[in-house]
């Protein structure tokens, strides 16, 4: 097993290690990938990210590869289909929110051109690089995540509270929160 210094939230599962080493904190500009993280972070509410990460491929299959234009067209029969899918979190509120958020994503694209343009505007188009020496200093939410959360909620999005949005910002690389001893810190902060 590779013993590089990593952020303290990573467990020993190879899936989790790959996620930390290859994805978390890497800037994402692709709309479909941004929507994927929006849905997965919302699904995480009350659960661990590890639980959701293990279900990620099932989510991709169940939600048309996170194609939000397709998901925005889902009907009640799709909600029922999703609620029967044991590969995802079968919570009616979260499933319905995913569909409503897809409709919101379509509207954001109409207004801003792309989801990427909308989300990245909150950080002036470049990642916020933090310099936390240890995990205990990393906040659960910030003024940025509160502002983003309020704007999304005003637009009808759900499961986008400030803590969920801070996790979203971290995961998508808009905020780089690898701790300074982590080997990814120097790779992503330079």
Q: Which residues are annotated as a binding site for Zn(2+)?
A: 7, 20, 178, 182
SS (H, E, C) 165-188: HHHHHHHCCCEECCCCCCHHHHHH
H-state helical runs in 45-182 = 49-62, 68-71, 76-83, 92-112, 115-121, 143-154, 162-171
Count of alpha carbons within 13 angstroms of residue 178, beta-carbon side? 25
107 phi and psi, to 5 degrees?
A: -65, -40
Residue list for the binding site: 7, 20, 178, 182
Q: What is the DSSP letter of 128?
A: E
Q: Position of tokens 């905020």?
A: 175
d(CA 110, CA 9): 37
Q: Which residues are catalytic?
A: 19, 41, 49
Could you tell me if 27 and 174 are in contact, meaning their C-beta atoms sit under 8 angstroms apart? Answer: yes
């Amino acid at each position: 097993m590779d013993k590089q210094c990593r952020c303290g939230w990573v467990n020993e599962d190879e899936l989790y290690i790959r996620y930390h080493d290859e994805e978390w904190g890497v800037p994402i500009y692709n709309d479909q990938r941004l929507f994927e993280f929006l849905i997965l972070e919302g699904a995480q509410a009350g659960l661990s990210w590890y639980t959701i990460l293990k279900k990620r491929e099932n989510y991709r299959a169940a939600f048309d590869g996170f194609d939000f234009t397709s998901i925005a067209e889902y009907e009640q029969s799709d909600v029922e289909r999703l609620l029967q899918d044991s590969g995802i979190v079968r919570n009616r509120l979260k499933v319905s929110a995913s569909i409503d958020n897809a409709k919101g994503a379509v509207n954001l694209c109409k207004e801003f051109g792309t989801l990427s343009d909308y989300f990245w505007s909150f950080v002036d188009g470049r990642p916020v690089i933090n310099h936390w020496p240890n995990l205990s200093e990393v906040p659960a939410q910030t003024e940025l995540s509160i502002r983003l959360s309020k704007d999304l909620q005003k637009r009808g999005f759900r499961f986008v509270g400030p803590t969920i949005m801070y996790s979203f910002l971290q995961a998508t690389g808009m905020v780089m929160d690898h701790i300074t001893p982590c080997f990814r810190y120097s790779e992503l902060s330079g």
